[in-house]
Amino acid sequence: AQTVTQSQPEMSVQEAETVTLSCTYDTSESDYYLFWYKQPPSRQMILVIRQEAYKQQNATENRFSVNFQKAAKSFSLKISDSQLGDAAMYFCAWCRNTGTASKLTFGTGTRLQVTL
Amino acid sequence: DSGVTQTPKHLITATGQRVTLRCSPRSGDLSVYWYQQSLDQGLQFLIQYYNGEERAKGNILERFSAQQFPDLHSELNLSSLELGDSALYFCASSPRSLVETQYFGPGTRLLVL
């Protein structure tokens, strides 16, 4: 079974600094997608960034970027210029590209605190 | 606002009861997914429907069932409720059945007393 591991239950970063959240996954599949979702105190699940496994180029979305290492099965999220609004739970998720169904497998999450 | 709506926002009920959670996907989306988020199990996929048909099943208990209606809204039915069913239930939608970004609703918080 596919598993997603987030080894950092909690992280803290100062405002305007950079922080990296770790995620590793275990799969024998070669065609899949990876996601980072943010869950603020409102409990809404918000997509942060998405990476297709077949793409070598790392995805970026404004202040958010990933370091995707396919051979190492690693998918870390870098948040630059951290803002107070970035404080949330961050979930890494994996999805197999079956062509028919696309269920997400989530990690256990990393709680990010942003301090002044 | 993701465009996915879920009702009710909160639900408090007793053990042994049955409840129905409702989800309306984003306009134009054909796929609906249900997820359960609990303290001990984390975020788990329950079931997926695409254009009215079941497409994938996850760790969904036999006491739980779902369906997607012709207007594409979906309902998740939970019966013979137990204390351990207390959780946040999310619905998500995507345009098709292939791997695309899933947009999540605000969730329904279920408390079983």
Q: Decide: A105 and A33 in contact? Cβ < 8 Å.
A: no
Q: Decide: B1 and B51 in contact? Cβ < 8 Å.
A: no
CB contact under 8 A, B94 and A103: no
Per-residue confidence at A82, pLDDT binned at 50, 70, 90? very high
CB contact under 8 A, B55 and A101: yes
Instruction: Look at residue B87 in the predicted model and tell me its pLDDT.
Output: 97
In the stretch 72-91 of chain B, residues with CB closer than 8 A to chain A read 88, 90
Which pairing describes strands B19-24 and A64-69: parallel, antiparallel, or unpaired?
unpaired
Share of chain B above pLDDT 70, in %: 97
Per-residue confidence at A97, pLDDT binned at 50, 70, 90? confident
> What's the mean per-residue pLDDT of chain A?
93
B56 → closest Cβ in A101, A106, A108: A101
Instruction: Look at residue A101 in the predicted model and tell me its pLDDT.
Output: 62
B97 → closest Cβ in A44, A100, A106: A100
Phi and psi torsions of B2, nearest 5°? -80, -20
In the stretch 83-102 of chain A, residues with CB closer than 8 A to chain B read 91, 95-102
